[in-house]
Amino acid sequence: MTSSPSASSGLAVAPDLSIVIPVFDEEGAVEGLAREIAAAFDGWNYEILFVDDASRDATLARLDAAAAEIPRLRVLRHARNAGQSRAIRTGVLAARAPIIVMLDGDGQNDPADAPRLAGALTAGPPRLALIGGERRVRRDSAAKRWASLWANRLRRRLLADQATDTGCGLKVFRREAFIALPYFDHMHRYLPALMLREGFEVAFEPVNHRAREAGRSKYTNLGRLGVALFDLAGMVWLRSRARDPGAVSEISAKASP
């Protein structure tokens, strides 16, 4: 997918892709990440949206500096910290493209993988609504990898979401499908299950994973455990309450006078 000449000089033409990155206290990562994303999508018709979730450090200043260098970069900011899922939703609602590319803001997702996933989604059938990255080699601590392994096994057993690594922040999905999902805090961890619940199809692709080079993780294994169990119980209930209408067809429609 290449950009038209008019799209290459600014944002006057609606983009084909919106790349959404939620960030909180990531002053050491955001500028370099923005440049990597722009380089990875060179030749595409895209926009980049960083959503600053009320960072307390110099993240916003670094993003302003990056925006002066990268015309396709937009910066949104929350007045209050509202969490990663809300920041993602803010970005998706503000996005102007039908396809969303989502990456974590810590730089551990490799932007070079994102165009491949975006191309696979756009070439896929209309019901394919999400392609998630699966980190084949994790660059995290042994404790974090172990906790993630067992959490993924439990979640996959209870939700049948087909994902072996739902925690990977690199995902590409259709904007209209995301907006159709029920919103709740931490929903970003359950996007495959939520998409399947609405009757969409999902797929997964192997991606690179990098060690964190700046900042620190906002989560701990113990902190995640309590939240994850609570959310998982809610997801089991939500999935049990879904009803599939099958194919929907319009029988008749009145012509406009």
Query: pLDDT (tens digit, 9 = 90+) per residue, 24-55?
Result: 999 999 999 999 999 999 999 999 999 999 99
Considering Cα of 193, then 195, then 199, then 200, what sign does the dihedral take? negative
What percentage of the chain carries pLDDT values higher than 70?
84
Asked if the model's pLDDT at residue 214 lies above 80, the reply is no
pTM value is 0.84
Q: Which has more pLDDT, 239 or 217?
A: 239
pLDDT for residue 125: 96
Asked if the model's pLDDT at residue 250 lies above 70, the reply is yes
Give the pLDDT band (50/70/90) at residue 165.
Answer: confident
Mean pLDDT of 1-6: 37
Number of CB atoms found within 10 A of residue 153's CB: 11
pLDDT for residue 3: 38
Contacts of 120 (CB under 8 A, 6+ apart): 131, 172, 203, 205
The pair phi, psi for residue 42, each rounded to 5°, is -60, 130
> Which of the residue ranges 55-59, 101-105, 150-154 would you say has the lowest mean pLDDT?
150-154
pLDDT for residue 222: 55
Asked if the model's pLDDT at residue 14 lies above 90, the reply is yes
Q: Alpha carbon of 247 to those of 9, 196, 220: distances in Å?
A: 42, 15, 43
Ordered structural domains, the chain, with CATH:
17-239 (3.90.550.10)
pLDDT for residue 135: 87
Burial of 34 (0-12, 13-18, 19+ CB in 10 A): buried
Give the pLDDT band (50/70/90) at residue 256.
Answer: low
Number of CB atoms found within 10 A of residue 253's CB: 6
pLDDT for residue 93: 98
Winning range, highest mean pLDDT, from 47-61, 144-158, 207-221, 237-251: 47-61
Give the pLDDT band (50/70/90) at residue 1.
Answer: very low
pLDDT for residue 18: 98
Mean pLDDT of 195-203: 95
Which parts of the chain fold into alpha helices (H)?
A: 30-40, 59-69, 84-94, 114-123, 142-159, 175-179, 191-197, 221-240
The pair phi, psi for residue 57, each rounded to 5°, is -110, -150
Asked if the model's pLDDT at residue 149 lies above 90, the reply is no
Q: What is the mean pLDDT of the chain?
A: 87
What percentage of the chain carries pLDDT values higher than 90?
63
Q: Convert the pLDDT of each residue in 87-112 to its tens digit.
A: 999 999 999 999 999 999 999 999 99
| Alpha carbons 194 and 85: distance in angstroms, whole number | 13
